[in-house]
Structure 1
């Protein structure tokens, strides 16, 4: 037997907006956040060793190898010619005379030494750094398999996700190795609501990228500029 229902109680509506007290902040034109979306841990089981990809740097290596090969070959030929009783090449005699006559404080010598030091430091940096900053390593779910995602492709995926959020008129995504910065323009809806939806959608999108070190997320939402 069904008991009679009493009069329905009215659903309470949102509280009325009271007067703005001193110290309160009203954000009418933009909203920003640094979303905490619980990224996938970088060093869980099966993802250890998913480091950055090293660049082969074939062009600098080939240029250096050709220079060293040409210089040593020419010097070896000249030394062998001198040992055989022939005069040394003109360039080596001229270089020896210049080094003997010029003082160590000469601008020519200091400039040449600085150039050699700069080239050496550049080669050391190339040898000690991995390079390929545009590639974001992905999680290694299977041993022996390594994959990476291009930063521009990751930014394009997040931009498409953000463009699907209601109220977003345009969006720009800058994908770094440690942070994804999203700047959106919303032409309707409350900015805080749009920003909250973007936090949720983009947080899910970053997790689904499968990166070994998921970047943090920074979302900025503003109104379109007023036309004069």
Structure 2
């Protein structure tokens, strides 16, 4: 379980609504900050050197010459523009999306408490519950944000009976998990291959 903290996981004004958990995105933010700081530092040094009477650095003279003489439809100019647009779109997507897809928000009975359940942990709990059903030999459970998919293998009993029991056990277990949005259940039961 996760509780609300200072790491960008939601504001205090949620009003009891169980929204998704937001990621702090520290690594992309640190990379962008270091790149921008380095570029700004080099540019500021070069501008200060030119103001002090020195010549501009060679890379800046070369860049100004290339930008002045290359046409806009040049392949390198277009490739640089496309790369800058893609990087900008990636940063906008990172800023506008929650990012913690592995955490399922739980119901908020108290507006001051916010909890989440790891999807892999939820899948493990549901798998253990399904394994208790008579006739189930093995099962694989995948927990998504919108659906829970269970694929069970039954070595005895009628498949329809096992499927009904598995659906009932899964429905009860999902309800007991206390997730905010009840996922759709998808159950498939089959026999092991004959040897």
Per the normalisation by structure 1, the TM-score is 0.77
**Which stretches in structure 2 are left out of the alignment for 5+ residues?**
1-13
Query: In the alignment, what sits opposite 2:70?
Result: 102
**Which stretches in structure 1 are left out of the alignment for 5+ residues?**
1-45
Deviations 1:72-122 (A, max 9, x none): 111111111111111111110111111122211111111111000000000
Deviation at 1:136, TM superposition (A): 0.1
Query: In the alignment, what sits opposite 2:121?
Result: 153
Deviation at 1:47, TM superposition (A): 8.2
Whole-Å Cα distance in 1 between the matches of residues 111 and 180 of structure 2? 14
Instruction: Kindly indicate whether residue 141 of structure 2 is the aligned counterpart of residue 173 of structure 1.
Output: yes
1:47–1:212 Cα contact (<8 Å) kept: no
Deviation at 1:48, TM superposition (A): 3.2
Whole-Å Cα distance in 2 between the matches of residues 158 and 183 of structure 1? 12
2:106–2:116 Cα contact (<8 Å) kept: yes
Number of matched pairs: 182
Query: Which has more helix, going by share of residues?
Result: 2
Bigger CA radius of gyration? 1
Instruction: Return the match for 1:182 from 142, 147, 150.
Output: 150
Whole-Å Cα distance in 2 between the matches of residues 80 and 48 of structure 1? 54
Displaced runs of 4 or more, over 4 A: none
Per the normalisation by structure 2, the TM-score is 0.90
Instruction: Kindly indicate whether residue 84 of structure 2 is the aligned counterpart of residue 113 of structure 1.
Output: no
- Aligned-residue CA RMSD (Å): 1.3
